[in-house]
Chains A and B, each alone.
Chain A
Amino acid sequence: MSELTYISDAMKQNTFYILAGIIGLVEVGVFWFSVRYMIPYLITGAFIVGVLLLYLAWRRITDRQVDERAVLINQKAGMATFMVFWVIFFATSLGGAVIGLGAPPLPHFPRPPDERPSGINESIKPFGDGPGLPNESIRPPDDGLIRLGHFGYLQLALLFVMFFLYVGFRIYYARKYGEWESDEEQD
């Protein structure tokens, strides 16, 4: 545990960072493509593939230095992030549950036309006095999917909160365990 871990194979730490940047840019491009053509599975799959590629590249880094103090800092930061984040996540989920409980019960079965409230059961007449379109031929956008998409914003916001929490705790514990201490041997 206290020994430095040198992984054999050929990749420098800086090369890994460059590769990570390139993969990140590709992911942004794929995200744009997914939004443009409404293919949600594309970015989902691309993100998983990107993370796998990064993991494989990370394993090939030759000059990675990990010792017991670095491991301790990571563990402490990870645990502190978890302890704070679950409270935020639980509170947010409770709020979401309240919205869900206040919503009309699912699923929504379409009612026969004669049972629909007046005002909705009207044909749409696009031009003048021409024949109207039966309302069955007009499909409203899938409201459930759109709401699910909006839920994604919340999830992303929570992930960013988690990320910033981790970075904050990482800095805190690194400082606590002497990461930026200096002395006469400082370069």
Chain B
Amino acid sequence: MKNRIKVFRAMHDLTQEALAQQLGVTRQTILAIEKGKYDPSLELAFKIARYFNVSIEEVFTYSETQ
């Protein structure tokens, strides 16, 4: 699964730590998601999308090759 969290973070001028605190996870989890090492739960994915005020499809893209 690909994601554009890093892009949205940059648009909102947010650090990983700040976003992690807002979402109630560790910075390492945000980093792992950005790097594609970890796919978030549906709940966390919705939280991320809602935080950036966009739809979940704009943040996450499902890819068959993954």
Interface residues in A60-101 by Cβ distance below 8 A to B read 65, 67-70, 72
Q: A1-B43, A2-B41, A185-B16 are in contact. Are A179 and B28 (CB under 8 A)?
A: yes
Give the one of B31, B34, B43 with max A CB within 10 A. B31
Q: A1-B41, A1-B43 are in contact. Are A68 and B32 (CB under 8 A)?
A: no
Could you tell me if A67 and B35 are in contact, using CB atoms closer than 8 angstroms?
Answer: no
CB of A144 within 8 A of chain B?
A: no
Interface residues in A166-183 by Cβ distance below 8 A to B read 176-179, 181-183
**Main DSSP-derived SS at the B contact region:** helix
Given the complex, which residues of A lie within 8 Å of B31, measured CB to CB?
178, 181-183, 185
Could you tell me if A185 and B32 are in contact, using CB atoms closer than 8 angstroms?
Answer: no
What is the chain A residue whose CB lies nearest that of B23?
Answer: A2
What is the chain A residue whose CB lies nearest that of B25?
Answer: A67
Binding site for B on A (CB under 8 A): 1-4, 65, 67-70, 72, 176-179, 181-183, 185
